[in-house]
Amino acid sequence: MKVSWMPAMVFALFGAMFISVSPSAVAAPVEITMWDVPESQVYSDWWRKHAQAFNASHPDIHVTLEVFETEAYRSKIASALSAGTTPEIFYLPAGPQGFQAFRDRQARSLAGLLDATRFTDAAVRACSVEGTLVCMPLYVAPNLMYYNKMLFAASGIDPSRWADPSQPTWEEFAAACDAIKAKGKVPIALGNGDGWPGTMYMWSYQNRYGGVQELAAAAGGKGGVSFATAPGFKRAARSVAALGKSRYLPLGYNGITGGQKYALFTAGNAAIIYQGPWLLARIATDAAPDFKFGVFKFPSFKDGDPASQKDVIGGFDALFVNSRTNKTAAIAVFLNSFADPNIALSFMQDTQNVSVIKSVLATGMSPGVINDIAQITAAAPHISPWWDNYLSNAVADDATRTIQGLFDGSIAPDAFLAGMDKAAGR
């Protein structure tokens, strides 16, 4: 028989110690709030699941994800930045508004917080201000030409016979449009009622003619360069005006808005559409099950800027960190979890967004068109930024507001560019 020698009083003492010490030994988790916008339903679902999984595996940290509709968020984040009431982590494109938040000390440098070596060089550059990393890139949304393989085949067009199957010359592209037009189909599904689809052509023409260095010079007014005097901008404006008269666009293209422009393509009524990867979700939900499509880069120009012909135009969405937070250690753990190879791969596969994490792009583990898009983007020598991310809001808004007139001829190319300069205060 085993006899206990410990008195009851000792048991009672130890029990009291456990009762009094245990609650205080478990510290409350560090609370982090992240603001985001619903880029797509699958995107929102992925972030919700990721936050839940992270919280479960990190009991010392709790992330609360708050998602706002895009238009409502624009006013909300502007007000929060003005009042200094942003949460620990907040979403903004890698562009003027977020960069100004850093300059105004509303957002902090991520140096020492984020392992930037896991991200592509282009993504790090897009999220840097004068060499300082100020935001975490989430994904890149490259603008590419999506094409209907059945309509191309019916029109006798075989991209594999182009000099570069991933990118036609302008002559090869125009020949394809002519062949599609001859078959009674619309070559290009442009819906310019909202303005921004048309500005993507202006961005791309300027890149091919003037490149990223000219864009930077004109945006900053360096060396007396302006939008109206930069050769690439002038040629781009004239090219947009010519495209408007080309008969490659649907009738009433300046009045086609919203999902109508996507429906032209997914219903098989137009052969080509120039969009970002958000189109993939539209194709998945709206197109017929046997719908086959591919992608290629904006055409090259033999008389364009030699250094920019292989560029891709794209935007980077990103996360910024509040400069006043004292929770940087916990924030660093959460942000770096996004770059874990397995998590990054699931993000690309589930959301159909192009990853900015090197491990995913190197392995090419996500099959199908999204991998083709990722590889084309990763191979581009430059990612020329979206103007609405890169230029001041006033200039970008003016270009978007007047692009319809440039297309339909009611605004002359020189007047369009002069308007941009005026909006820039020149």
pLDDT confidence of residue 16: 45
Q: DSSP letters of 152-184?
A: HHHTT--GGGSSSTTS-BHHHHHHHHHHHHHTT
Q: Is residue 334 predicted with pLDDT exceeding 60? A: yes
Listed range (208-212, 214-218, 378-382) with the worst mean pLDDT: 378-382
User: Average model confidence (pLDDT) for the chain?
Assistant: 91
Q: Is residue 409 predicted with pLDDT exceeding 60? A: yes
Element of type H or E holding 113: none
pLDDT confidence of residue 371: 84
Q: Is residue 359 predicted with pLDDT exceeding 50? A: yes
Q: How sure is the predictor about 313, in pLDDT bands with cuts at 50, 70 and 90?
A: very high
Q: What is the DSSP letter of 111?
A: T
For residues 12-34, b (16+ Cβ closer than 10 Å) or e, as one string? eeeeeeeeeeeeeeeeeebebeb
Q: Which residue has the higher pLDDT, 365 or 214?
A: 214
pLDDT confidence of residue 367: 58
31-80 confidence digits (pLDDT tens): 999 999 988 888 999 999 999 999 999 999 999 999 999 878 989 999 99
Torsion sign, CA atoms 208, 209, 214, 218: negative
pLDDT confidence of residue 264: 96
273-298 confidence digits (pLDDT tens): 999 998 998 898 899 999 999 999 99
Listed range (129-143, 218-232, 317-331, 364-378) with the worst mean pLDDT: 364-378
Q: Is residue 9 predicted with pLDDT exceeding 80? A: no
Helix (H, G, I), strand (E, B) or coil at 147: strand
Distance, in Å, from the CA atom of 334 to the CA atom of 54, rounded to the nearest integer, reads 8
Distance, in Å, from the CA atom of 61 to the CA atom of 88, rounded to the nearest integer, reads 13
Q: Is residue 239 predicted with pLDDT exceeding 80? A: yes
Q: Is residue 129 predicted with pLDDT exceeding 50? A: yes
386-399 confidence digits (pLDDT tens): 998 889 889 999 99
End-to-end, the C-alpha distance of the chain in Å comes to 98
